[in-house]
Amino acid sequence: AQKVTQAQTEISVVEKEDVTLDCVYETRDTTYYLFWYKQPPSGELVFLIRRNSFDEQNEISGRYSWNFQKSTSSFNFTITASQVVDSAVYFCALSEVAAGGSYIPTFGRGTSLIVHP
Amino acid sequence: NAGVTQTPKFQVLKTGQSMTLQCAQDMNHNSMYWYRQDPGMGLRLIYYSASEGTTDKGEVPNGYNVSRLNKREFSLRLESAAPSQTSVYFCASAPVEIFSNQPQHFGDGTRLSIL
């Protein structure tokens, strides 16, 4: 079984603050993939990043950075100098190999980030 | 823009009515998926199709049927709608036969209310 836990239901920050969204996962597989998606108030789902289980390098993309630590089964997402436009629900997802060889994704319940001006 | 197109965007049904949600992608993706999103629950997989001609159940398949009409189209049918099926439904596609390490591309969602 696989499980993704986003313990923070809602986070509220003031613009320009840094904020970290936590994601903890459970899996028995050695090969798996982790993702982050953003869902702004308009409702669409926007892909942010993919990471496979063999690549623990942290990644930075502009104000966004991701910290993947297999030792703690975590894939945390940090926004530096947050902006109002970052207000959204953020989903962490895990994909591992299911019976029959296909990959089935599981999403966390999401963290709602509210950035106040 | 190319991508995943869902129709309709909004729908209100009465309990017991049936309807089909349509999804089409023009990215030549092999895999397609249907999710439902409920408040505080994240996205839960209803059905998926790893490739044309195949469909499999996801986490919450009860009350739904799917058809992979061709490579482009994957429809979701509610035979007898129930209030518990009130939700936002998302269709997604991915460019490989299995989900693998490719991101899914999502449609804009269908808001379905069952009265």
A44:B106 CB<8 A: yes
pLDDT digits (tens, 9 = 90+) for B59-110: 899 999 999 989 999 999 999 999 999 999 999 988 764 445 567 789 999 9
HEC states along A48-67?
Answer: EEEEECCCCCCEEECCEEEE
**From CA B82, how far away is CA A72, in angstroms rounded?**
41
pLDDT digits (tens, 9 = 90+) for B45-68: 999 988 888 899 988 999 999 999
- In this structure, of A27-41, A84-98, B39-53, B99-113, the range with the lowest mean pLDDT score is B99-113
A32 CB near a chain B CB, below 8 Å? Answer: no
Instruction: Give the torsion sign (CA, A20, A23, A24, A27).
Output: negative
The alpha carbon of residue B56 is apart from the nearest alpha carbon of chain A, in Å, by 10
Model confidence at A99: pLDDT above 90: no
Strands A88-97 and A111-116, bridge-based pairing: antiparallel
**From CA A32, how far away is CA A18, in angstroms rounded?**
29
B40:A109 CB<8 A: yes
For B22, the token pair is: 């349509």
**From CA A60, how far away is CA A81, in angstroms rounded?**
14
- Pick the residue from chain A with its C-alpha nearest to B110: A43
pLDDT score, position A57: 83
Q: Would you give the end-to-end CA distance of chain B in angstroms?
A: 34
pLDDT score, position A97: 66
> With contacts defined as CB-CB under 8 Å, which chain A residues touch B105?
47
**From CA B21, how far away is CA B76, in angstroms rounded?**
5
Closest residue by Cα to residue B102 from B90, B110, B92, B111: B92
pLDDT digits (tens, 9 = 90+) for A59-75: 888 999 999 999 999 99
Please identify among residues 47-86 of chain B the ones whose CB lies closer than 8 Å to any CB of chain A: 48, 50, 56, 58-59
pLDDT score, position B98: 45
Model confidence at A2: pLDDT above 80: no
Residue A21: strand pairing partners: A77
A104:B58 CB<8 A: yes
